[in-house]
Amino acid sequence: MVETGEAIVRVGISGHMDVSESTARLVKSGIDRSLREVEGDLTGVTCLAFGADQIFAQSVLALGGTLEVILAAADYRERRVWAEHLPIFDGFLARARSVDVLPFAQAGPEAYVAANVRMLERIDLLLAVWDGGPAAVRGGTADAVAEAERRRLPVTVIWPDGARREG
């Protein structure tokens, strides 16, 4: 059970983008279970990447929570969101209480690291949809978990039995 002594509990997410469809269902169940344990008003903090972040955003909203979005760079939507995912991405942006765009012109490793730091500064708990492996790129899930642990933030790893990554 997550208790901070405050009315609002801020939960962040970091996770793999390349989860299979069957893994996405397993991950959603794990995220839902973790979020239901939160006592207080739920605020989800996310960078809104495809995969774990968007599954998390869906769960937060379904549970009556609010979203705060951190975009790593000014061009994130144009460069990193595939055309077929734009309606879902834009729908989450429209429902977000706030959208914080970091001062980077282009998305890339430096911007992703900064987005992780900004998220970690704002949360009480990190959910990590993570297979336990090293980060594929700087600013990936493994880096977010390591930084959260360095900051002594609680981390809940969600990687259910049978979960797998694609590609």
pLDDT tens, 15-61? 999 999 999 999 999 999 999 999 999 999 999 999 999 999 999 99
Count CA atoms closer than 13 A to 22's CA, side-chain side. 7
Q: How far apart, in Å, are the Cα atoms of 89 and each of 47, 73, 112, 150? A: 11, 15, 18, 31
* Topology classification of domain 8-158: Rossmann fold (3.40.50)
Structure confidence at residue 7 (pLDDT): 80
As to burial, measured by CB atoms within 10 angstroms (0-12 exposed, 13-18 middle, 19+ buried), residue 23 is: buried
Would you say residue 85 has pLDDT above 70?
Answer: yes
Contact (CB, 8 A) for 136 and 109: no
Structure confidence at residue 135 (pLDDT): 81
In 36-166, where do the E strands start and end? 41-46, 66-71, 98-101, 125-129, 155-158
What is the rounded distance in angstroms from the CA atom of residue 75 to the CA atom of residue 108?
A: 10
Quick one: average pLDDT of 55-77? 98
What is the rounded distance in angstroms from the CA atom of residue 139 to the CA atom of residue 119?
A: 12
- Residue 152, token pair as written in the block: 């002594």
In 16-167, where do the E strands start and end? 41-46, 66-71, 98-101, 125-129, 155-158
Q: For the chain, give every domain's residue range.
A: 8-158
Structure confidence at residue 3 (pLDDT): 52
What is the rounded distance in angstroms from the CA atom of residue 108 to the CA atom of residue 33?
A: 32
